[in-house]
Structure 1
Amino acid sequence: MPFFSRHEPEPAPVVEQPRKHGLFSSRQEPAPVPVQQQPKKHGLFSSHRDPSPVSSNSTTSYTTSPTRHSTDASKRHSSGGGLLSKFGGGDHMDPSIVQARERVLSAEAAEREADRALMAARESVRNAREHVRRLELEAEEEARLAKIKQHQAKDISKRGKQLGRHGI
């Protein structure tokens, strides 16, 4: 550990100038490159905390499309997991409200399950009707073929009655 710290000026981040595009070309900006800070070395008499609080609240622009979105570290919320966190947290909520919310969520889940059952029932009815329709078509076809066969048998029977002229 050195007794006297030596401060070297950090190199300024390279800022690319916006490119000009032709009339028919689309403009796409490259993906954002996060600036990585080098770990600071501390001397014998220096503190280990960051002297510049500006870096924790800095505003950074990230572009993924032609529109720009900026994020501010001071405006970000911690998005904790859990069911009740999206409703405003469960630490200070009244138990009756929590119970009512759980009942509503349970009812919504039951409705989704009922919708799935209804869809399955409709599909089953559709399949049954299609099966009945196919059976009716098969029966009609068999009846048509039976009628043709009956007509042909009648013709052959007429021709068979003419036989026997020779006295047999």
Structure 2
Amino acid sequence: MEPMRRPGDAPTGYESGTIKNSRLLSGLTIDSIVFGVTLLWSTTSVHEFIQVANSKDVAAPIPVWMSEPRGHLTVQALKRDVMAYLALVAGGLARENDLAPNTMQQKMHIIKQLAYVENDAFVQACMAKLEPNTFLASVLVRCECPGFAIQPACFNPPPLPWRQVFY
């Protein structure tokens, strides 16, 4: 058994490490964690989506968040419109494929906004014309707290026959 320490004794190496780590973690709260959301667009899938969206094969109306009329949709316009729609609920700057910084709540709102895009009748009608297992973008969530982590966002697939747009 180790002898008891007296007040004023210098801490051991183990105790010093514990004190240092406790100080680092003591100020950490869920509000102090910063999140980023990044979309990695599939160039081929987005191009095919645009071809279908511009055709007359899709009867559903274009969603209100799309800025271009049918026949004039472009890859750049689709990406820009999706990012602008997501930026409505994001806390940070919207870049070509990134939204940051965001709080936990803002990150959850971005994920919900992606579900609204995915559940749109026009988007689903276009996705139905594409090959199975085709996705427009993969979504990554970054977490910056004392450290840094990045992981894929978790999405529940929509009910059949709807298609998953983001993964």
TM-score range, shorter chain: under 0.3
More helix by share: 1
More strand by share: 2
TM-score, normalised to structure 2, is: 0.24
TM-score, normalised to structure 1, is: 0.24
